[in-house]
Amino acid sequence: MVGKRVTEMIESDEQTLQLMEFIVSGGHFGINVAKVNEIMKYSQYPITPMPNSNPFVEGIFRPRTETMTVINLAAYMGLPPSDDEERDILIITKLNNVETAFHVHGVEAIESVRLSEIEKPDSTIYGGEEGMATGIAKHGDKLITIIDFEKILIDISPNMGFSPSDIDKLGMRNRSSKPILVAEDSPLLERLILSSLEKAGYVNIICTANGQEAWSLLEGYKESGQPIEDHVCAVITDIEMPLMDGHRLLRMIKDDNALKKVPVIVFSSLITDDNREIGTKLGAVANVSKPEIANLVTILDQNIL
């Protein structure tokens, strides 16, 4: 059954995102359904406050056998608190193999949104690297802001990000000017990837904010008449991005005679069994879960050095 579902996803030409729409202080926000394990009533389990914790952490609770941290999303966003906690919801995510509960004020629906209709946020309005939006989706008469949950987790718990010590463990490194193209929609994670790769000796990194931007660059490289390896020797791509996701970008690269030999690494917090199978069938040399940056560098070494 999994194999059939994966094949359907690969062969589909419809680029859509299943978005869970939720409410915080009257505003409409969204999260990729693939990042949601489940939702619970906020009042269903007691939450135990933790002394000296981050001010946006409400505490911990234990719905089953694992203890989870509860993050107050309104407090993190600087928005007013709930006026009726009986209606509030906990969205349980699993990112980078860690389960976390986000306290929101309601869940509206699951919307199917075309990636082409998700706009890249304006950095002057949404804060650039300091902002928390990765996309703005128009659905009906509503604008839904897609939240960068990975950034929130790294802001609250920096050890969930990329650690320079992970690169240090790889030992002495030589510098390489071979060009690497990165597609990553989170400004914070883009910076962390860039700094980590530079620390690993890769000094020629081209960053793009989504698969469409990356594909436009690749098409320009083909039209230049120069060998592709003069412009790009490897592609690193996230999965979930506006306009064009990483799997579609991977598929287009491998379907193109001029580009198909370029190694592509999928680097995402959404490396599930299904997504790993999709990436492998489409031709990725590896599917690496964030924040395993040392593993990413090792695979780069094996494929382009």
Q: Answer whether residue 3 is part of any domain.
A: no
User: Residue 189 corresponds to which amino acid?
Assistant: L
**Domains in the chain, number:** 2
Q: Answer whether residue 6 is part of any domain.
A: no
Contacts of 128 (CB under 8 A, 6+ apart): 187
96 lies in the same domain as 189: no
Q: Answer whether residue 132 is part of any domain.
A: yes
Strand order in the sheet with 57-61: 36-41, 89-95, 98-104, 68-72, 57-61
Domain boundary among the residues 134, 156, 178 is at 156
Domain boundary among the residues 156, 180, 211 is at 156
Residue 256: exposure state from Cβ atoms within 10 A (0-12, 13-18, ≥19): middle
Report how far apart, in Å, the C-alpha atoms of 86 and of each of 24, 64, 146, 201, 281 are: 14, 21, 25, 53, 45
Question: Is the N-terminal amide bond of 291 cis, ω within 30° of 0?
Answer: yes
176 lies in the same domain as 140: no
Token pair 């007691």 in the structure block, residue = 46
What kind and span of H or E run contains 276?
helix 273-282
Q: Answer whether residue 5 is part of any domain.
A: no
214 lies in the same domain as 110: no
**Domain containing residue 290:** 161-304
69 lies in the same domain as 129: yes
Read off the CATH number of the domain in which 101 is found: 2.40.50.180
pTM, full prediction: 0.84
130 lies in the same domain as 216: no
183 lies in the same domain as 294: yes
pLDDT at position 2: 47
Domain boundary among the residues 104, 132, 156 is at 156
At 202, phi and psi to the nearest 5?
-90, 110
pLDDT at position 1: 44
17 lies in the same domain as 61: yes
Read off the CATH number of the domain in which 198 is found: 3.40.50.2300
192 lies in the same domain as 88: no
141 lies in the same domain as 167: no
147, 149, 155, 159 alpha-carbon torsion, rounded to 10°: -160
95 lies in the same domain as 180: no
61 lies in the same domain as 119: yes
Walk along the chain (305 residues) and give the pLDDT tens digit of each residue. 445 544 554 555 557 888 999 999 999 999 999 899 999 999 999 999 999 899 999 999 998 888 999 999 999 999 999 989 999 999 999 887 789 999 999 999 898 888 888 887 776 555 555 578 888 988 778 889 999 998 999 899 887 777 767 888 888 888 999 999 999 998 889 999 999 999 999 999 999 999 999 999 999 999 998 999 999 999 999 998 888 999 999 999 999 999 999 999 999 988 888 899 999 999 999 999 988 999 999 999 999 98
